[in-house]
Amino acid sequence: MASQSFWKDRARAESIVHKASELRSKLSPFHVLQKKLEELEILKKIAIEEPSQRLRAAIVAEIDSEYQRLVKELSRFELIQFFSGEFDRNSAFLTIHAGAGGMESCDWARMLIRMYARWIERNPLMKYEEVSFQEAEGGVKYATLRVFGEYAYGYLRQERGVHRLVRISPFDANKRRHTSFASVDVVPEIEEVPIHLEERDLKIDTYRSSGKGGQNVNKVETAVRITHSPSGIVVSCQNERSQLKNRHTALKLLKAKLYQIEVERKRDERNTQSREKGTIAWGNQIRSYIFQPYRLVKDLRTGVQATDVHEVMDGGIQSFIEGHLLQGLTCTKSQPGSKRRSL
């Protein structure tokens, strides 16, 4: 890069600089972990040479605590090496739609929103805001969360698909078992989306934003709903008090959805992977949450399962996310001509 001839081909030079920056970004956490390990080695030597039993015990306790923290950091470092998608490091928009079934499905959508919110809250490197939601009898018809944090999209894209719930309905006086469906869609937040929108293709509506429980948040029409006529996609945003900001976020979400559809169309043409999202029904489900007659959450793609359904619904879904991520790595490695390295 220091060579004078390096910048003669500017496009090539910028590509190399970008790749070098990505490599440095990936290696930086490794160097930090390496330094922490060296510090633990020093503490170990100090503990061995310490004549005071009380002080030695205190040092050993500190070593154990730091070691446990280091193991967790190392596990996360190893996991993110599997992310290879162009936008895996980006923040994400997560949208949940209730399926057919009225109150049952709307309540199930509400439960899923809480599950993902709790998963985000468990991750100190992530946070979220509610972009839009539509309440319905029994729960929520749909909601979109904007999830901030490095690799938010890489993690959450493993959750795309239909989620199925089986339980004794709290809305059924006869206490019968019901099956409900809800779909989860995830798109990356992209600053510069290579999608051009024609103004004539957009139907833009404004309305008053409302809070949970029906309380009025704004007395003026700041919420924005955009319908893209050619695709039928509808997006909305109501979390800002500024109509302009809500419009900007809604357009960003619309572009991200259209871009993902185009990417998936090209991917399907190459027959590398079928689309994961479809009708909110039996044939397209990725995970089942059984509350009755037994307790089990099972991922139908990977076979990963858990019997503590309350832990799962409280955000304990990391094992499911990692299971599908690792399965995707295995499938890619098994494809002819795959160049992804193994770790």
What's 196's domain CATH number? Answer: 3.30.160.20
Q: Does 128 fall in a domain?
A: yes
In the DSSP assignment, the letter for residue 209 is -
Do 176 and 322 sit in the same domain of this protein?
A: yes
Residue partners of 50: CB distance under 8 A and separation at least 6 = 56, 59
What was the pLDDT predicted at 308? 97
Do 142 and 221 lie in one domain? The reply is: no
- As for how many domains the chain has, the answer is 3
Same domain? 116 vs 179: yes
pLDDT digits (tens, 9 = 90+) for 38-57: 999 999 999 999 999 999 99
Residue 151 lies in a domain: yes
Edge to edge, what strands does the sheet with 285-290 contain? 127-136, 139-148, 92-98, 177-188, 161-168, 285-290, 296-299, 305-306
pLDDT of residue 340: 38
pLDDT of residue 283: 57
Residue-wise pLDDT tens digits, 145-191: 999 998 999 999 999 999 999 999 998 888 899 999 999 999 999 88
Residue 296 lies in a domain: no
Region 247-270: mean pLDDT is: 86
Residue 98 domain flag: yes
Domain enclosing residue 51, as ranges: 17-80
Q: What is the pLDDT of residues 96-127, one digit of tens each?
A: 999 987 899 999 999 999 999 999 999 988 99
Residues 113 and 59 occupy one common structural domain? no
